[in-house]
Chain A
Amino acid sequence: MKFNNAIIAALGLSFAAIVMTPAASASATVAGTAKWNGNTGNLSSMCKFTKNVAGTMTFDEASNTWTTTSPAEFHINTRGNNNINVIAYEKLLQGSSEIADVQVDYQYDTVITGPAGLTINLNDDDISVAMNGKRGKLEFELGGTAVVTNDDIVFAANQSYSINHEVTCIQ
């Protein structure tokens, strides 16, 4: 009788093991992770302008100076040993007509945000950024002043003018 009980107990353990095994397996399936593996492959250098918004400026006739009230904004996504240059086109334009020469000063109110390790030269009328192999997003808030160099110009009221800037990214 004891023998039979032992057999029954052993069979019971085996049955439990059989019953438990699929349950444990099903649990593993539910809790398991699925994933997609991937690799970017060989990516070349990149310059991509991702934002380009004109700024605004006001004119102070007493000082003959235009001052930005909101900066021109542009973003560049860059990868590689790239160089970025900003050059002011120092002409006051009305439409496509050049009205006067201006002297631009970016240093007055320009902000450049980007990855650490860049070499940035912020000058009066030009800016250069060496990415030094860093990758990431470079954000420019291009503000400043532009002094009209010709004192003899008499502006009419409520006329619109603009000053252009050229941004070059060399990849």
Chain B
Amino acid sequence: MRFVKTLILASVFLSMGVQAHGMNPGITKVTTYKDISKMTYEVYNSYEFPAVYTMQVFTQDLTPAPESLYRFFDGKSVVRLKPNSKAKVDVLFKPEQDVSRFIVCSVLTGVSYEEIKPSITSRVCSRLIVERISR
């Protein structure tokens, strides 16, 4: 006897209206004399529900970047956004090489005020190239 269980996954996302998760800027190259570079990313939540976004920094091959190479300004790496709102996140980079490549991501880690983990985790990432030049 064939026993079939049916599961309807809780649809935590609404499909009506304009919905979006995005981040600006896209790929960026910074050329600087400074040892520390500051980048500001704007994360926007155009979904019609509150969402939690967690910022992550990776190296070029998508392995987590060593914490010695970056830090979030004020230590703020989690952004809680109301529907149709946006927030800025400052990241400080201290690259060890003359040309360093990072991938900075905002990851949807929770939806609704209960911060339920989504079944599809959207991750928007921006490439960053920091070129340090000598005086």
A residues apposed to B, CB below 8 Å? 44-62, 66, 69, 72, 74, 77, 80-81, 96, 142, 155, 157-171
Contact = CB atoms under 8 A, between A and B. Distances in A.
Contacts of B10: 54, 160
Contacts of B12: 54
A165 B119 contact: yes
Interface residues of B, number: 40
Interface of B: 2-13, 15, 18-28, 47, 62, 103, 105, 108, 117-127
A169 B124 contact: yes
A44 B23 CA distance: 11
A51 B48 CA distance: 11
Contacts of A51: 13, 15, 19
18 contacts: A47-B125, A49-B108, A50-B18, A52-B21, A52-B118, A54-B10, A66-B7, A81-B27, A155-B5, A160-B8, A160-B10, A162-B7, A165-B120, A165-B121, A167-B121, A170-B103, A170-B125, A171-B26
A166 B24 contact: no
B124 A48 contact: yes
